[in-house]
Amino acid sequence: MKMKKMLGPVALLLLLAGCNVEGSFLFDGDDGVVVELVSIDSEDGYVDTEGIFLHDGILVESHFSTGFFSFPLHAIPPHAFISHAFLFIGVHSVFAPEDSLVIDIFQGSGIYAGSFEIFLSDEMSYVFLDVTDILIDALEGRGDRFQISLEARDGAVFLEDGGDNLGTGLVPFIEATYF
């Protein structure tokens, strides 16, 4: 029985001693640092099929336009460990053939990062999605921006941008927690 109780701490000590890790760890039960990354108004918008960039909210419409969000990364220090990150998007209006539409999300480099569903009932409210993995990927490249694009599979949605140009007050942001 004593052998089992000692195995956990010994394994942890061996694991930490054997790792070559840059930075430091804080194991004090702290909840981490929470930051809000508000989207950059001048870089938010959408591009239509003719390649024209528009900046009056974000229209994501199947076969017509792709929406873009950009978030600054300066509030997250280098070598931070991201425990979780959620993207909050303000929905203005939804035009769907059924009661919802599916939106595909891509990292700034065009890599598919998943999809989510927006419902008619989401109008004039926030929807949120977990972007932890793609934010971590963006931080590994350590640019000064985290950029995503959105494409609708069928239907359309008007989303608020960083300048509140649609007047909803639902400015997009990322809430990230790091250690």
3-state secondary structure of 138: helix
pLDDT tens digit sequence for 59-84 = 999 999 999 999 999 999 988 999 99
Return the ∠ at Cα 150 (arms to 108 and 107), rounded to 5°: 20
Residue 87 has pLDDT above 70, yes or no: yes
Please give the model's pTM, rounded to 2 decimal places.
0.80
Distance CA 89, CA 129 (A): 9
**What pLDDT shows up at residue 51?**
92
Name the least confident of 18-27, 37-46, 94-103, 108-117: 18-27
The enclosing H or E element of 12 equals helix 2-17
Task: Select, from the ranges 8-12, 13-17, 65-69, the one with the highest average predicted confidence (pLDDT).
Answer: 65-69
As a CATH number, domain 32-178 is: 2.60.120.970
List Cβ neighbours of 59 (8 Å cut-off, separation of 6 or more): 46, 65, 67, 156, 157, 158, 159
139 - beta bridge partners? Answer: none
Name the least confident of 21-30, 94-103, 151-160: 21-30
Structure tokens at 151: 């494409």
> Which one has a higher pLDDT value, 6 or 165?
165
For the chain, domain boundaries = 32-178
Work out the percent of the chain whose per-residue pLDDT is above 90. Answer: 73
**What pLDDT shows up at residue 25?**
35
